[in-house]
Amino acid sequence: MADLGVEFCGLKFKNPVVVASIEPTNSAERLKKCIDAGAAGAVVKTLTDMPIMATLTGHSKYAILNEHGQIIRGKVPRNYVFYSRSGYSSTTYQEWEPYLKEAQAYAEKNDAHIIASVGAGSLETWAAIAKMAEDCGIMMIELNFGCPHPTQMKEARTGVLIGQVPEIAAEVVERVVDAVKIPVMVKLTPEASNLTEVARSVKDAGAAAVTVNNRFTGFAVNIETGTPYINGPAGVGGPWIKYVTLRWVHEIYSKLRMPIAGSNGIFDWHDAVEFIMCGARIMQIGSVLMLKGYEWLNKVIKGIEDFLDQHGYPDLQAIYGMASKKATASYNDLFQVKGIHAVINEEKCTGCWNCVRSCFYDALSKGDEKVVTHSDRCIGCELCFNVCPFNAVTFAEND
Ligand SMILES: Cc1cc2nc3c(=O)[nH]c(=O)nc-3n(C[C@H](O)[C@H](O)[C@H](O)COP(=O)(O)O)c2cc1C
């Protein structure tokens, strides 16, 4: 059986699956459930000194939508839209002290790690909450620079508002790194213009890793009532956002080679493998657990293991960053790749004209019954191959 163990910021994780900071980690009992379900770690629901962020959690709202923008009513599609609003931990960070100790002791006994997420309102309290967690025996801190809701709340100068500005993010990291000895990881917002620059800035300030990333703010409409779901803007994510997240995992891995925890868009083991191949060392899984339960974790872990076994990979290292390493460094490099042109297999072509409809380079036209190719105009874009239902398109290299 493949070895699922992974080293991350000096800690050994028994597998790459960690529960993200979210409602399923909002108490010591819930953290224990994550560990019981097989997770190698769990990030505590963000600890805060800002009452407004706890109040927001007391007013949490959810609209889980299908691909038609309707409430799912129990049937969870793979590409669900998780549209929701909740704040930080519902109790004060001081009240968490005994529970952090309890959860940490449980994690130690079960070969797992508790990571403390912090989301504060002043430089002093960012450092104080992190220090409190360290004093409880916690082995790693995550700074939540990604919470999307502060853009909608004038009292909350935190989360995304910090993660959008590399200099401010670095200032907070420096203060926390000065206050604690344990590794500090930064959870990025996707709502910054360049996540790699934010990651570079916090790395230079002493961050040991980044979580790529928290969620966007969105706006979802119920067209039957003509009203926004759950009254207006809310956090939005779901498995469909994976491709956007992977772009940043790939870029930060390729440019900075810093340890990455992947988050935002993981539904199952397949997604997790993609994150690892792009350069994530561990994964943080969140919203899917609120729909499928803690038991889902085990399926994700088992799925990764089966994938490695079936492909003969001995461990995660064998696939770590694999896809990122094979990507072209820039679009300019693509211009050096040898050209190809489409060839139609006349036996398979049925004259459905899908390919003709999708060719915007005048390289395919309708013949009497079959598609006719004009190779001199074909640029080898491969769109015809994608839309052909009969596998009638192949390619030949240009002379
Ligand atoms: C209901 C809900 C509450 C969340 N609360 C927090 C939080 O307190 N702190 C935090 O850093 N991220 C929070 N997040 C973001 C998640 O940790 C995670 O990054 C995000 O949901 C993307 O992962 P997913 O695609 O697995 O859901 C929350 C997300 C949701 C849906």
Q: Do the Cβ atoms of 351 and 371 come closer than 8 Å?
A: yes
For the Cβ of 262 lying below 6 angstroms from any atom of ligand 1, the answer is no
Q: What is the pLDDT of residue 131?
A: 98
Protein residue with its CA nearest to atom 22 in ligand 1: 264
Provide mean pLDDT across the span 222-232.
98
How large a percentage of the chain has pLDDT more than 90?
96
Q: What is the pLDDT of residue 154?
A: 87
Is the per-residue pLDDT at 85 higher than 90? yes
What domains appear along the chain, each with residue ranges and CATH number?
6-326 (3.20.20.70), 338-397 (3.30.70.20)
Phi-psi group of 209: left, alpha or beta (phi > 0 → left; psi -120 to 50 → alpha; rest → beta): beta
Ligand 1 center from residue 341 Cα (angstroms): 45
Phi and psi (nearest 5°) for 202? -75, -30
Protein residue with its CA nearest to atom 10 in ligand 1: 21
Is the per-residue pLDDT at 10 higher than 90? yes
Protein residue with its CA nearest to atom 2 in ligand 1: 22
Pair type for strands 41-43 and 113-118: parallel
Is the per-residue pLDDT at 362 higher than 90? yes
Q: At what angle do helices 296-310 and 269-278 cross, to 10 degrees?
A: 60
Is the per-residue pLDDT at 336 higher than 90? no
Q: Can you list the positions of beta strands (E) in the chain?
A: 6-8, 11-13, 17-19, 41-43, 61-65, 81-85, 113-118, 140-144, 184-187, 209-212, 216-218, 221-222, 227-228, 234-237, 260-262, 282-285, 340-344, 364-366, 371-373, 393-397
pLDDT level of residue 337 (50, 70, 90 thresholds): confident
* Distances, alpha carbon 49 to alpha carbons 130, 141, 285, in Å: 12, 16, 25
Q: What's the sign of the alpha-carbon dihedral 33, 36, 42, 44?
A: positive
Instruction: For 92-130, write each residue's pLDDT tens digit.
Output: 999 999 999 999 999 999 999 999 999 999 999 999 999
Phi-psi group of 75: left, alpha or beta (phi > 0 → left; psi -120 to 50 → alpha; rest → beta): beta
Rounded CA gap, 74 and 92, in Å? 33
Provide mean pLDDT across the span 346-370.
98
Among 274, 153, 168, which residue's Cα sits nearest to residue 212?
274
Ligand 1 center from residue 118 Cα (angstroms): 13
Amino acid at 236: V
For the Cβ of 25 lying below 6 angstroms from any atom of ligand 1, the answer is no
10 Å CB burial of residue 257 (0-12, 13-18, 19+) is exposed
Provide mean pLDDT across the span 384-397.
98
pLDDT level of residue 338 (50, 70, 90 thresholds): confident
Instruction: For 141-174, write each residue's pLDDT tens digit.
Output: 999 999 999 999 988 989 999 999 999 999 999 9
* Distances, alpha carbon 294 to alpha carbons 34, 299, 366, 380, in Å: 6, 10, 54, 46
Is the per-residue pLDDT at 299 higher than 90? yes
How large a percentage of the chain has pLDDT more than 70?
100
Q: Do the Cβ atoms of 88 and 147 come closer than 8 Å?
A: yes
Q: Which DSSP string do the residues of 186-215 spell out, in sequence order?
A: EEPPTTSS-HHHHHHHHHHTT--EEEE--P
Average pLDDT, the chain: 97
Which one of 17, 21, 22 would you pick to mutate in the ligand 1 pocket, going by the greatest count of ligand atoms within 8 A of its CB? Answer: 22
Protein residue with its CA nearest to atom 19 in ligand 1: 214
Estimate to the nearest angstrom the gap between the alpha carbon of 357 and the chain centroid.
36
Rounded CA gap, 153 and 150, in Å? 5
Per DSSP, the three-state class of 302 is helix
pLDDT level of residue 329 (50, 70, 90 thresholds): confident
Pair type for strands 260-262 and 209-212: parallel
Provide mean pLDDT across the span 330-344.
91
Q: Which of 90-94, 133-137, 204-208, 363-367 has the lowest mean pLDDT?
A: 90-94
